[in-house]
């Protein structure tokens, strides 16, 4: 099923392309595009499909990607670091979660929420000697830089953060706050 015909003009305007450009991309005349957008003509299913495919393809090229919205200043801790040092780093940088690495491999995540749970369960004295790996949670999802940003919104709501990789190397992080960049 195709979207409503009224969306053609809206999508074309949002993409900033002319009727002539859309016509050239679809093989449909500029006059026909004009008539469809003004409601004077109802295109065949095949013509409408061509138009929506062209618009969809352009939207895919112009929409924001994970690499566009991620914070590239990735702050992380090593799994064997002392917990109090990791907490200090989180406070100094005003971050609520921090990826945990073993060398350069992501092995977990340390979150404010996870730390709060541990603090309720353990004595303050016990926590002094803890290492990060003793309280870290499972690693967050990792997506490629080219992943559409819109696909990240439901994922980041569930996972609290997403790591972004380029050519197999983690190079950024997406938090709920980063997804707000799509609105700007």
- pLDDT for the residue numbered 144: 92
pTM over 0.85: no
SS3 169: strand
From residue 43, alpha-carbon distances to 11, 30, 157 in Å are 17, 13, 40
Q: How confident is the model at residue 121 (pLDDT cuts 50, 70, 90)?
A: confident
Domain limits, the chain = 6-62, 66-182
Percent of the chain surpassing pLDDT 70: 97
Q: How many CB atoms lie within 10 A of CB 143?
A: 22
CATH superfamily, domain at 6-62? lambda repressor-like DNA-binding domains (1.10.260.40)
Q: What is the pLDDT of residues 35-84, one digit of tens each?
A: 999 999 999 999 998 998 888 888 766 578 889 899 998 999 999 999 99
Count Cβ atoms within 10 A of the Cβ of residue 89 and give its class: 0-12 exposed, 13-18 middle, 19 or more buried: middle
Q: Which among 17-31, 124-138, 169-183 has the top mean pLDDT?
A: 17-31
CATH number of 66-182: 3.10.580.10
- Give the residues across from 148 on adjacent strands: 65
């Amino acid at each position: 099923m195709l979207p409503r015909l009224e969306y053609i003009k809206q999508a074309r305007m949002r993409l900033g392309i002319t009727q002539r450009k859309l016509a050239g991309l679809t093989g449909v005349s500029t006059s026909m595009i004009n008539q469809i957008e003004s409601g004077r003509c109802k295109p065949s299913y095949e013509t409408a499909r061509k138009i929506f495919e062209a618009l969809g393809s352009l939207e895919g090229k112009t929409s924001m990607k994970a690499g566009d919205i991620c914070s590239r200043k990735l702050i992380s801790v090593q799994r064997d670091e002392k917990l109090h040092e990791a907490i200090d780093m989180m406070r100094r940088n005003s971050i609520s979660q921090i990826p945990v690495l073993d060398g350069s491999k992501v092995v977990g995540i340390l979150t404010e929420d996870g730390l709060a749970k541990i603090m309720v369960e353990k004595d303050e004295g016990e926590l002094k000697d803890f290492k990060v790996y003793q309280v870290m949670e499972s690693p967050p999802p990792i997506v490629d830089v080219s992943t559409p940003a819109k696909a990240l919104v439901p994922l980041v709501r569930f996972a609290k953060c997403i790591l972004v990789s380029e050519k197999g190397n983690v190079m950024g992080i997406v938090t709920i706050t980063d997804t707000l960049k799509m609105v700007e």
